[in-house]
Structure 1
Amino acid sequence: MGERSAMCFSATASFITMGLTGAMGIAALRRSNTWQELPIASAPIFFAIQQGLEGLLWLNLPVDPQGSISTWLTFLFLIAAEAFWPIYVPVATLLIEPNEGRRRLILACLAAGIAVGAYLLWDIVRSPHGAVIQAGHIVYVNVTNHGVVVALAYLAATALPLMLSTRPMVAALGVIVLVGSAIAFAFYWEAFVSVWCFFAAAASIVLVLYFETSYRKRILVTSIGN
């Protein structure tokens, strides 16, 4: 992971994605039913924040690429993309999983996520990082080449917990993450972490569908009971 390139191609694309995913996050939260559902329902809002950071980077990098604003935006984006999701995804999935066997497997993913997230956070804090606009996208650069093992651990923490879910739409979300990561891995593997940028909207749609379906089932059960 010496260089990591984002898959959104302009400030406009980032801000449009931010708006769409933020709206979907609000819709998912409104349809959530228990506190255990709040973290996974909030995921699109965190996608939106991440996209907002990158949109601001698009605006700041041409003006002052080495300035404090660009430096801090890069730092915050990398924390969100690399250190936050490997821990957040397993926790959010674990909270809504009723099957004990699957919960144990997701806990193993959480352990991997904590390890890789802590390692990447430590690297972000201790090593110089930068961002440049290159060939129509933002490239995030650092001095560390993490290699395939870290990339696979990251993937196991962010895609596998979702795919292990007994809830079909949550499992479908995991497939979207896996497919997106596989595409990035195949075409520019050093950048595959940033695939979240490109697939955030699709993932958010699946989450909204999941909560809308759950909400309609609850309404149906209530109406039958009455």
Structure 2
Amino acid sequence: MHHPMCFSAPASFVTAGLTGAIGVIALTRVSEPRQLLFAATPLFFALQQGIEGLLWLDLPLAQDEHVSSALTLLYLFFAEAFWPVYAPLAVWLIEPSAHRRLLMVACLGAGVGVGSYLLWWMLGHPQLATIVDYHIVYGTGYRQPDAVGIAYVAATGLPLLLSSQRTVVVLGAIVLSGLVVAYALYWEAFVSVWCFFAAAASVAILCHFEWLRRRSSGSARA
């Protein structure tokens, strides 16, 4: 099984720089501790893209397989095991509606399950990364069951759409669009849409905090 990724080292590093900068700005807009995970999301986008940028630099050299293997495993850890847990938790923390928070807990449970399974799988099987036709392709020779893909989507996309906050729902629409586009290829591509969607998702997160700040300022003046 394999899936194509971003186009080049510069593309990865530019995306990492852009999303990282947005993440730093978003963190300066935080007014409550429970908002920290959501605001920090672009920083993890940036870290993931930075790791792939390093892979772009290392793979053509083929001098030390241990380096490329470690970078591949680290990238896939974020893509497959980290996000299904982090995303629902970050959204749950900022959700004011008790009913919606309960639904998000179910999504978090699915995320812990699918993330743990994918982590167990990647640690127990070889994970390969190669450059093919201007893409980095990650392959294991095995297609995960559809149920795994469904659980991944439920964990990473559904909590955003369940939010009572409009800006978070917009973020959910961006993420879900990426997942739908990826699904047209194969389920593994669920975790490989960052170059196209990470920047847009990061902007949506920053807009969320700007909207909260302006609403708060408006309430204070009133």
TM-score by length of 2: 0.96
- Distance in 1 between the 2:195 and 2:109 partners? 24
Tell me which moved more, 48-57 or 186-195: 186-195
Aligned-residue offset at 1:195: 1.5
- Distance in 2 between the 1:50 and 1:145 partners? 23
- Distance in 2 between the 1:9 and 1:65 partners? 22
- Distance in 2 between the 1:121 and 1:94 partners? 23
- Distance in 1 between the 2:102 and 2:47 partners? 31
Q: Which residue of 1 aligns with 2:82?
A: 84
Q: Helix, strand or coil: the match of 2:61?
A: coil
- Distance in 1 between the 2:55 and 2:80 partners? 17
Aligned-residue offset at 1:198: 2.2
User: Does the 8 Å contact 1:32/1:215 carry over to 2?
Assistant: no
1:159 pairs with 2:139: no
User: Does the 8 Å contact 1:11/1:55 carry over to 2?
Assistant: yes
1:125-158 deviation digits (Å, cap 9, x = unpaired)? 1111110111221111114321211111101100
User: Does the 8 Å contact 2:19/2:43 carry over to 1?
Assistant: yes
Q: Helix, strand or coil: the match of 2:164?
A: coil
1:4 pairs with 2:9: no
Q: Helix, strand or coil: the match of 2:27?
A: helix
User: Does the 8 Å contact 1:129/1:143 carry over to 2?
Assistant: no
- Distance in 2 between the 1:182 and 1:127 partners? 27
Q: Which runs of 5+ in 1 are unaligned?
A: none
Q: CA RMSD in A?
A: 1.3
* 2:102 paired residue among 104, 124, 141: 104
Q: Which residue of 2 aligns with 1:198?
A: 196
1:169 pairs with 2:167: yes
- Distance in 1 between the 2:84 and 2:187 partners? 18
1:221 pairs with 2:222: no
Aligned-residue offset at 1:194: 1.1
Q: Which amino acid aligns with 1:191?
A: A
What is the count of residue pairs matched by the alignment? Answer: 222
Q: Which amino acid aligns with 2:70?
A: W
- Matching of residues 1-226 of structure 1 within 5 Å: 2-6=1-5, 8-64=6-62, 67-224=65-222
Query: Identity percentage over the alignment?
Result: 51
Aligned-residue offset at 1:67: 1.2
Aligned-residue offset at 1:26: 0.6
Aligned-residue offset at 1:66: 6.1
- Distance in 2 between the 1:94 and 1:31 partners? 19
Q: Which runs of 5+ in 2 are unaligned?
A: none
Aligned-residue offset at 1:197: 3.6
